[in-house]
Structure 1
């Protein structure tokens, strides 16, 4: 089941990134970040309501550790999204975005050090192959594309996304509910907090950005919809499986991204892309086998 949720998440995230990349040429970082959450809360609330109409296990018991995990995940995902949008605006975006995909490897390391995550040698092999594949796909211009600011920004982005995922999993596991319900509660609370914080900040410091989003309802709505559907997939998968495993399989997002680039943006797929996709497929098979 976690494999299906992960594939859904990867597919929707590929579209969300494409929509965000387009919006980033017209709206600043804070605005593009808010677009991810703006209309996602009602969708998350509708999803949670549908789950309770299907089966009502009762309300969750809110504890201080749960609140801490939710707040930490919400703040860290805002930071990670802002860093990713900043990467969209850099000339060597491909390398930076690839480095941001170091999330799986960083999640494995952080999970091992601080969250008690355990992986088999086969799992570590799959994660390593996936990291190599993503770098191969992102470094199309060779090592000359690398710059210290891009490397630093990309790794910080990957680390922030890794911490977000680890805290989301901890928040979900701390609830005594069936997995779809606990994942949906975490999703709703995290997204609602993010939306509230960003709206308050922009109302205080940057109201023209809110006006700019209001003038782009279709693109903003598409970002929120794809983001929320992707989050449903991520949150559900991470309630069932270790974060490094989920994020390594989730690197099939690169495959979906290349399909979008080829058929929607009419860009050619090169041999290096094919080799990278083969490695990602091998990594995904190894992770599922382990």
Structure 2
């Protein structure tokens, strides 16, 4: 059951990271904001791994194989795409609808896990996934959008982000399993390698195509640090949880991030919750109980 506290911690960190990214997205492009998630996270991940080996120095180093490298590269590129699409959603008027579509990640991860990754769910697990999807539908504003068409760009970016995040999570879990190191060392190695590759790719891209994006991050070092720190801490939680439990269950429980987001909004931004929000929160709690019992 250790995956549960790791998931709750990851969801809390992700809620803060999204808030910081949304703030930075008003001043920088999608690629630059995506880099902010990774650029300072590498040293933090390296420190975390170093502390693990100081704690248990007898643990072996990883044996790198071709399948492991393939999973790392696929996960790194997929997460870059998912984050860039999410940041682009922050810049649209239909932010709530787009994020709600992106939260289809849990359902997509469950379906992909069953058909392609040999990760079946129990009926109770499926119930939790579906209830969680309904909860996000209520909380995100999708229900209010039923009366009119969802803009095609928002629809494609939202579902594309959810699919890319789902694939990232599944490939991260496969990389941890292929590596074969004891918990939490396998997850820590996957985290460090994925973040390092992502940082290198985005630095090269921005250096060649958008130097102004690097300048924008340089002008906001405090906000960039907050994004990287909350992102890395969240990734430690996600990667650790997914090395212990199926992605669908982890991501369904992780939808409690919506609760944390609304709590931040109510406490920090003084926003009030409506009746629909309370129903959505109740369903998230029900979904969390289902997946924990599953």
The TM-score bracket by the shorter chain reads over 0.9
Counterpart Cα distance in 2 of 1:221 and 1:234: 20
Q: CA deviation at 1:145?
A: 6.5
> Equivalents in 2 of 1:96, 1:172: separation in Å?
30
The answer to whether the Cα contact below 8 Å between 1:44 and 1:187 also exists between their aligned partners in 2 is: yes
What SS does the corresponding residue of 2:119 show, helix, strand or coil?
coil
Q: 2:213 aligns with which of 203, 209, 212?
A: 209
Q: How does 1:63-212 map to 2 (within 5 A)?
A: 63-139=65-141, 141-143=144-146, 144=148, 146-212=150-216
After TM superposition, give the deviation of residue 176 of structure 1 in Å: 2.2
Q: Provide runs of 4+ in structure 1 moved above 2 Å.
A: 144-149
Gapped regions of structure 1 (runs ≥ 5): none
User: Any idea what the Cα deviations from partners look like across 1:185-238, whole Å, max 9, x if unmatched?
Assistant: 000000000000000111111111111100100100000000000000000000
- TM-score, with normalisation over the residues of structure 2? 0.97
What CA deviation, in whole Å up to 9, does each residue of 1:14-59 have, x standing for no partner? 0000000010001000110000001000000000000000013110
Quote the RMSD (CA, aligned, Å). 0.9
**Corresponding residue SS for 1:116:** coil
Which of 233, 241, 246 does residue 245 from structure 2 map onto? 241
SS at match of 1:174: helix
TM-score normalised over the length of structure 1: 0.98
Q: Which position in structure 2 is the counterpart of 1:50? A: 51
Q: Extract unaligned runs of 5+ from structure 2.
A: none
Contact kept, 8 Å, 1:95 with 1:145, in 2: the verdict is no
Distance 2:229 2:149 in 1: 33
For residues 269 and 23 of structure 1, the distance between their equivalents in structure 2, rounded to whole angstroms, comes to 25
Count of residues in Structure 1 that have an aligned counterpart in Structure 2: 290
Match in the other structure for 1:24: 25
Separation of aligned partners in 2, 1:148 and 1:200: 31
